Amino acid sequence: MPESDGGSPHRNGAEWVGIAANAYSGTGRGRVRVERLAADLRERGLDVRLAWSLEERARLVSQSLTDAGCRCLVAAGGDGTVAALINERPGAPITVLSAGTENLFARHFGMGRDPSRVARTIVDGTVTTIDVGCVGGRRFALMAGIGFDADVVSRHHQSRVSASGVPRPTHRGAYVESVLRSSLGYRFPMLTLEADGPDGLETVTGTTAFVFNLPRYALGLPFVPHASGVDGFLDLLVFQEPGPFRALHYLWLVLRGLHLNRRGVLHRRVRRVSLTTSAPVPIQLDGDQGGWVFDETAGTARWEVEVQPGALPILIPPTHHHHVI
């Protein structure tokens, strides 16, 4: 594993940039990109602090809260790396060097894999703020999934963790087996969702639900094309009918861009969503497993997600204006 220079005082009072790199995300090329970015930033007169471990990342976040010289923190990895950094609540804007399987957050805001381009963003980019969703103190930038999709994510996570507890690198095709296992094993319990939106409270039911902050998920598909991340709302998407064949049919509709106009699919803009279920239901946040909703003592469970408007400062390329206010 590359050595870290995290934590060293920045030279001559220069601004510094922290790079939180996922050592297990992507291939060796990802590490080369991190090193190129660090070298480029140093050539531009910025001090660089690298973090390759969880402990080093926590130290970077702590320093960003107390050291006004921190220009930004860079999440070097996929959407899981971005989500982890967001939830450590840094004291500086974040930007992304894509180096993982999925990079939907980076794609939405015009970030990318080119270290030189990311370096230019850090030097010349624009700071803006976006909304995040929040579940019991845990934040998400992309979306939350409840039900069948979350079961797939949970099975995939279990399949890629080695006996030592270290996650193995993954790829999109690796989800196929998890989808098949969920299709055979998931029971599609009914969800009751109370949606608090522009027109007040509304109760809806279904078997799989998503709460989106940004529009895309799963291979970059636009589940909610008009979700913006800056409007002070989340987008609730509910698939009502149960069963694996129906779930695959809904996915086919999403692929064709027809799902929002079909019976059995509900879409609502919301500030808050409360979920009640009488059976265990899995949750995922930004593609990472988020546990299960169920209280065995009470025989039922309640789960709530709400929007936090403008809660996350991010650093975006100077030419990127889409979805930014």
Q: So where are the chain's domains? A: 11-124, 138-308
Rounded to the nearest 5 degrees, what angle is found at the Cα of 209, between the Cα atoms of 207 and 210?
165
CATH number of the structural domain 11-124: 3.40.50.10330
Q: Provide the 3-class DSSP secondary structure of residue 185.
A: helix
In three-state form (DSSP H/G/I as H, E/B as E, the rest C), the secondary structure along 108-169 is: HCCCECCHHHHHHHHHHCEEEEEEEEEECCEEECCEEEECHHHHHHHHHHHHHECCCCCECC
Rg (CA), the chain: 20
Per residue in 270-283, pLDDT tens? 999 999 998 989 99
The answer, yes or no, to whether residue 324 has pLDDT greater than 80, is no
45-49, 153-157, 166-170: least confidently modelled range: 166-170
Q: What is the pLDDT of residue 174?
A: 53
Q: Provide the 3-class DSSP secondary structure of residue 37.
A: helix
The model's confidence at residue 10, banded by pLDDT at 50, 70 and 90, is very low
Task: Report the half-sphere exposure of 317 (CA within 13 A, side-chain side).
Answer: 20
Q: Would you tell me which CATH number, out of the four given (2.80.10.50, 2.40.440.10, 2.60.200.40, 2.170.150.20), belongs to the domain 138-308?
A: 2.60.200.40
DSSP, res 305: E
- Mean pLDDT of the 112-133 span: 96
- pTM of the entire predicted model: 0.87
177-186, 227-236, 293-302: least confidently modelled range: 293-302
Q: Provide the 3-class DSSP secondary structure of residue 24.
A: coil
- Mean pLDDT of the 27-47 span: 92
Task: Report the half-sphere exposure of 85 (CA within 13 A, side-chain side).
Answer: 36
Per residue in 89-110, pLDDT tens? 999 999 999 987 779 999 999 9
53's enclosing H/E stretch is: none
